[in-house]
Amino acid sequence: MGMSGDCCGLYNPVEVPPFWSEGAAIVFPDMFLWEKFYELDYTKRNNFKRGDAEDSTYFDSSPPMVCQGFDTYLCDKLVRNYNNVKQGIQENGGQCYLGSREGVGLDGVVRQPQCDWAMSAYYLAYYASHQIMWVDIPRDMWAMGFPAAFQKHVGLTVDEFA
């Protein structure tokens, strides 16, 4: 995957910006656990409720195991972070951009400020659908390249979405 400008000599990059690859990787476990939270034996045995870790810090040992580490949005641990990101975007005129890791868009232009990748992925799932995000785009991106697959299924170019 990746973009041609990424490091390390990627073989056959399909121009996947990090908001999709990294953001979708962050969002998927959150959404899976959100749906399955009350079906987990660990959750049932300990009578956990969603949001139990809301006021916990990242290294706090008291939140449920499913709320430790990577799964921050599911457990409401970063609601404050979301509000800070949103406020920062609003203070910058309500726009942020989805370039590469260095802020370079597919058109080669560096734009700032950069959007939070997870927030962007959540928005893509909301704007389009989970089917488009995790099934339709990946199905076509290897043959068409990510930008063309994105435009086909979302109806916008990556830069228009950004």
Domain enclosing residue 22, as ranges:
18-161
Give the mean model confidence (pLDDT) for residues 79-88.
Answer: 69
Can you give the pLDDT at residue 33?
77
Q: Is residue 98 part of a domain?
A: yes
Q: What is the model's pLDDT at position 100? A: 59
Q: Where are the alpha helices (DSSP H) in the chain?
A: 18-36, 41-46, 79-91, 117-127, 130-131, 137-144, 146-154, 158-161
In a domain, 5, yes or no: no
The answer to whether residue 80 sits within a structural domain is yes
User: Is residue 1 in a domain?
Assistant: no
Give the pLDDT mean for 66-91: 61
Give per-residue pLDDT as tens, 63-77.
Answer: 555 555 544 545 555
- pLDDT of 26-50, one tens digit each? 788 777 777 888 888 888 888 877 7
CA-to-CA distance for 121 and 20, rounded, in angstroms? 6
Number of domains in the chain: 1
Q: Is residue 79 part of a domain?
A: yes
What does the pLDDT read at residue 148?
Answer: 94
The predicted structure's pLDDT at residue 76: 54
* 11, part of any domain: no
